[in-house]
DNA sequence: TCTGGGGTCCTAGGACCC
DNA sequence: TCTGGGGTCCTAGGACCC
């Protein structure tokens, strides 16, 4: 029997949003397609390979994509249908093995060691998976297989589009070392610049550089991590995980928000959307975070951890207003607002069922009392004091 | 051509506690 | 009188991913 040394399989859907659009609109087949925000400040979310040949890539401003690809078909994103396609894809992955770790809507790691009795080789698993995805979902996908987790991801990347690549156990370094270091999972723009300044261009260069030099530039944690990856070492396992850790919504406005009235209305809309998302997920969260991006792109966040988790739109709105005050928005225009919740708990958790008024309700009532007694001028400082949950407020 | 939306993880400092 | 030290939580920012 084959030893199944190569037990990590990474599956990645090709140009996922574009291919889902093509399923319902065949006229998009064989022509350059760009899915992305069509507004003034839109960017490319997904580009077909025909468009990529012309230089279009994801995260590119939509205006530049139009210049590079004037004859392309530009399609606004429909996240609902991508989510449905994603759920079908993941159901299919799990029909092979429950050992599935989701990385995003369109990619996953599978530990296929449990399939050794059903398939002759790891390669046969990859071929079967790709065939099932193509036949059942009508979508192209690429698969990488390796004995080392992150190597399987680089293998699927090298196999794109619509391909399969297995890296034999023991051959990892030969595969990795010629590659640009930027392709390593975790080396982004900033780390790449730091590595470049050390004369590191390829993964092989990275493997050759003494770790203490790396530590000085990148810190001990990242340096050790990258040294291991460059040596083809990665002890991480496939971790199925238990769902999202935070839920957030944000929006970039076509025109900067200027008046406090505009800002308030926009924030209220976001809070309502967030409450809807939480409700559908059956979740509530302990920590609320407000995100503000100004017209100069400077971005700031303000957050507060509450004693009781929140989920209701009205509670999120009340707390968001407090955070907005704390963000000290001056005369600057605002291009983006966001609200999110982390420290998630099930909305059906016991504290939600209690008949006691939540401390949030108590706080809101206190604000109301202060407002009535002392007038509107007192409201801002009063709410700032009352909403600080650790300053011994009476229950 | 000015830079989306949804996430995860890490760092660092201060508060607080023993 | 010259400042312990370790653990944990919270906040803000930043890098990175798709």
pLDDT in tens, A44-73: 999 999 999 999 999 999 999 999 999 999
Protein chain A, residues 275-304, with a C-beta closer than 7 Å to any atom of nucleic acid strand B: 277, 296-297
Is the per-residue pLDDT at A380 higher than 80?
Answer: no
* A310 vs A299: CA distance, rounded Å: 25
Measured distance CA(A53)–CA(A387) in Å, rounded: 54
- Considering only CA atoms, give the Rg of chain A: 25
- A53 belongs to the catalytic site: no
Q: DSSP E strands: which ranges in A205-325?
A: 246-257, 283-294, 299-310
Contact A250, A274 (CB under 8 A): no
Backbone angles phi, psi at A207, to 5 degrees: -65, -25
What pLDDT, on the 0 to 100 scale, is given for residue A241? 85
pLDDT band at A193 (very low <50, low <70, confident <90, very high): very high
* Cα–Cα distances in angstroms (integers) from residue A271 to residues A175, A182, A287, A310, A337, in the given order: 48, 38, 14, 11, 10
Alpha helices in A97-219 (DSSP H): 122-132, 149-159, 172-176, 189-197, 203-208, 211-218
Q: From the CB of residue A251, how many other CB atoms can be counted at a distance below 10 Å?
A: 13
C1' (C17) to CA (A12) span, angstroms: 14
Helix (H, G, I), strand (E, B) or coil at A177: coil
What pLDDT band is residue A242 in, cutting at 50, 70 and 90?
A: confident
Residue A353 CA and nucleotide C6 C1' are separated, in Å, by 38
In which residue are the tokens 């990892």 written?
A172
Residues A104-131 have a mean pLDDT of 97
CB A31 within 8 A of CB A121: no
Q: What residues are paired with A339 via a beta bridge?
A: A249, A290
Q: Does the pLDDT at position A252 exceed 50?
A: yes
Nucleotides of C under 7 A from a protein CB: 9-18
Work out the number of other CB atoms within 10 angstroms of the CB of residue A38. 13
Please tell me the pTM assigned to this model.
Answer: 0.87
With bands split at pLDDT 50, 70 and 90, how would you rate the model's confidence at A379? very low
């Amino acid at each position: 029997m084959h030893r199944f040394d190569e037990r990590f399989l990474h599956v990645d859907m090709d140009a996922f949003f574009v291919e889902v659009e093509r399923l319902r609109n065949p006229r998009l087949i064989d022509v350059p397609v760009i899915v992305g925000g069509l507004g003034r400040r839109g960017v490319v979310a997904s580009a077909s390979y025909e468009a990529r040949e012309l230089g279009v890539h994801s995260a590119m401003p939509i205006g530049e994509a139009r210049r590079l690809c004037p004859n392309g078909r530009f399609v606004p994103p429909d996240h609902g249908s991508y989510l449905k396609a994603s759920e079908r894809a993941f159901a299919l992955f799990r029909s092979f093995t429950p050992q599935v770790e989701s990385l995003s809507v369109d990619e996953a790691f599978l530990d296929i060691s449990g399939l050794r009795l059903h398939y002759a080789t790891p390669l046969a698993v990859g071929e079967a998976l790709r065939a099932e995805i193509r036949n059942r979902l009508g979508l192209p996908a690429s698969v990488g297989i390796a004995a080392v987790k992150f190597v399987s991801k680089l293998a699927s990347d090298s196999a794109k589009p619509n391909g399969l690549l297995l890296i034999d156990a023991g051959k990892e370094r030969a595969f990795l070392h010629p590659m640009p270091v930027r392709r390593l999972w975790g080396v982004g723009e900033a780390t790449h610049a730091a590595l470049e300044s050390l004369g590191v261009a390829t993964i092989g260069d990275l493997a050759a550089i003494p770790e203490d030099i790396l530590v000085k530039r990148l810190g001990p944690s990242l340096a050790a991590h990258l040294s291991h990856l460059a040596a083809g070492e990665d002890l991480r396992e496939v971790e199925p995980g238990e769902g999202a850790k935070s839920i957030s919504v944000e929006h970039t406005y076509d025109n900067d928000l200027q008046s406090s009235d505009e800002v308030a209305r926009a924030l209220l809309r976001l809070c309502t959307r967030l409450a809807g998302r939480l409700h559908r997920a059956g979740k509530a969260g302990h920590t609320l975070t407000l995100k503000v991006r100004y017209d100069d792109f400077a971005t700031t966040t303000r957050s507060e951890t509450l004693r009781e988790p929140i989920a209701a739109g009205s509670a999120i709105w009340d707390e968001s207003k407090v955070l907005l005050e704390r963000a000290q928005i001056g005369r600057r225009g605002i291009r983006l607002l966001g609200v999110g919740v982390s420290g998630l708990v099930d909305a059906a958790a016991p504290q939600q069922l209690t008949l006691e008024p939540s401390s949030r309700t108590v706080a809101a009532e206190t604000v109301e009392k202060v407002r009535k007694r002392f007038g509107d001028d007192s409201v801002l400082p009063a709410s700032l004091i009352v909403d600080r949950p650790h300053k011994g407020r009476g229950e």
